[in-house]
């Protein structure tokens, strides 16, 4: 209990430092990641001894350790992460599980291919815990946190060679930036912020970008005025929505009948994709309602377990502010 409390306190210090919504002050922290909705995820996946599981976003290995414990003595876990630093951290955290765990540096956009290569098909349960880990928020050098000054990078995989946040901020036109901020950040002041960015650039650091945003937005909002811009840039840099859309069908394809899929999302854009996918794949017919007869030949492959998204309790949010916006959806493979 004392240890849990200590972890929670450390987390909330970290969140304050990283500028996570709901945290008020800036303090020192150590980067410990507390897995959200931990027990509900394990129950939802119906983890059992001897089972085979994939954690598609292994992060610091918190959920993965829970799956490995609950599937003792012989359950196995394959963990993927797009961030090489996360794979390393998970490797250290999960070392005591020995051969029962395999970790791969990969985006979950290659989920089925990686699972086949590792003989993890069919699999009994798959978890996606989307977004950022506290490890990523803690280090200013990645550019994810707007309260810590660092380079405008934001790539989950710094080795990918893909565009950075600085490339987008300095290269897009005002119109393109406004669309990006509005679409991926649901930012009401998208146009105003885009114009200010273009007038102030080149911008290379998170602090420079935060400065520009603060100058053109009110500071009295519930969340920090840079929150939505940072979300939008991160989503765009990592093409997060398209990657999620491509991974969900692969997850269904490799699940065994009765296998469970659990997805934790942290903003409505992600949650909408998961909700629509679950709804579509749990229907026998997806013809438009006005069609006189079914012509789609679509067959349901999922049974939705959680009709409504599962949210953290007030107690969990108090212990771990990062859990605040989390939403869990669970479905089961049929057929």
Residues between 214 and 253 that touch ligand SAM (CB under 6 A) = 243
Radius of gyration (Cα) for the chain, nearest Å?
Answer: 20
Residue nearest to ligand SAM (CB): 59
Taking alpha carbons only, the member of 295, 292, 248 closest to residue 270 is 248
59/259 with CB nearer ligand SAM? 59
**Contacting range for ligand SAM; rule: CB under 6 A; set: 53-61, 171-179, 287-295, 302-310:** 53-61
Helix (H, G, I), strand (E, B) or coil at 304: strand
| Residue 107 binds ligand SAM (CB under 6 A) | yes
| Residue 155 binds ligand SAM (CB under 6 A) | no
Nearest 5°: CA angle at 82, between 77 and 83? Answer: 105
- Token duo for residue 190: 């998208």
Contact 103, 87 (CB under 8 A): yes
| Residue 108 binds ligand SAM (CB under 6 A) | yes
Contact 82, 109 (CB under 8 A): no
Residues between 156 and 215 that touch ligand SAM (CB under 6 A) = 156
Residues between 117 and 146 that touch ligand SAM (CB under 6 A) = 129, 131-133
| Centroid of chain to Cα 136 | 12
| Residue 316 binds ligand SAM (CB under 6 A) | no
| Residue 320 binds ligand SAM (CB under 6 A) | no
What single DSSP character describes residue 205? B
Q: How far is the CB of 62 from ligand SAM (least distance, A)?
A: 3
Contact 233, 169 (CB under 8 A): yes
> What residues pair up with 265 in beta bridges, in sequence order?
327
CA gap 160, 295 in Å, rounded: 42
CA gap 33, 11 in Å, rounded: 7
Q: How far is the CB of 234 from ligand SAM (least distance, A)?
A: 10
Contact 232, 180 (CB under 8 A): yes
Q: How many residues bind ligand SAM (CB under 6 A)?
A: 23
Identified binder of ligand SAM from the candidate list 19, 29, 31, 35, rule CB under 6 A: 35
Identified binder of ligand SAM from the candidate list 16, 52, 76, 82, rule CB under 6 A: 82
107/217 with CB nearer ligand SAM? 107
CA gap 146, 207 in Å, rounded: 7
Q: How far is the CB of 156 from ligand SAM (least distance, A)?
A: 4
81/190 with CB nearer ligand SAM? 81
Q: Which residue has tokens 């507390």?
A: 34
| Residue 265 binds ligand SAM (CB under 6 A) | no
**Contacting range for ligand SAM; rule: CB under 6 A; set: 17-25, 101-109, 272-280, 299-307:** 101-109
Identified binder of ligand SAM from the candidate list 51, 61, 225, 321, rule CB under 6 A: 61
Q: Under the rule (CB under 6 A), what is the footprint of ligand SAM?
A: 33, 35, 56-57, 59-63, 80-83, 86, 107-109, 129, 131-133, 156, 243
């Amino acid at each position: 209990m004392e240890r849990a409390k200590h972890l929670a306190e450390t987390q909330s210090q970290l969140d304050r430092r990283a500028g996570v919504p709901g945290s008020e002050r800036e303090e020192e922290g150590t980067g410990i990641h507390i897995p959200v909705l931990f027990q509900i995820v394990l129950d939802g996946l119906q983890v059992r001894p001897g089972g085979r599981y994939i954690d598609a976003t292994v992060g610091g290995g918190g959920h993965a350790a829970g799956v490995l414990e609950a599937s003792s003595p012989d359950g196995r876990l394959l963990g993927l992460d797009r961030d090489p630093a996360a794979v390393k951290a998970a490797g250290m955290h999960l070392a005591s599980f020995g051969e029962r765990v395999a970790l791969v540096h990969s985006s979950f956009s290659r989920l089925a291919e990686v699972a086949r290569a590792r003989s993890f098909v069919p699999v009994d349960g798959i978890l996606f815990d989307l977004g950022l880990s506290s490890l990523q928020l803690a280090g200013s050098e990645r550019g994810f946190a707007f309260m810590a000054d660092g380079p405008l990078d934001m790539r989950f995989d710094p080795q990918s060679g893909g565009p950075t946040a600085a490339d987008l901020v300095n290269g897009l036109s005002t119109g393109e930036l406004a669309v990006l901020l509005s679409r991926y950040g649901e930012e009401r002041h998208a146009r105003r912020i885009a114009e200010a960015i273009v007038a102030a650039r080149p911008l290379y650091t998170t602090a420079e970008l935060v400065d520009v945003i603060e100058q053109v937005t009110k500071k009295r909002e519930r969340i920090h005025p840079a929150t939505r811009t940072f979300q939008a840039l991160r989503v765009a840099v990592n093409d997060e929505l398209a990657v999620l859309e491509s991974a969900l069908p692969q997850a269904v394809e490799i699940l065994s009948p009765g296998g469970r899929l659990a997805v934790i999302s942290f903003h409505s854009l992600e949650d909408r994709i998961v909700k629509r996918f679950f709804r579509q794949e749990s229907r026998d017919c997806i013809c438009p309602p006005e069609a006189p007869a079914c012509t789609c030949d679509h067959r349901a492959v999922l049974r939705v377990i959680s009709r409504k998204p599962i949210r953290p309790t007030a107690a969990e949010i108090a212990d771990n502010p990062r859990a605040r916006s989390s939403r869990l959806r669970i479905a089961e493979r049929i057929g």
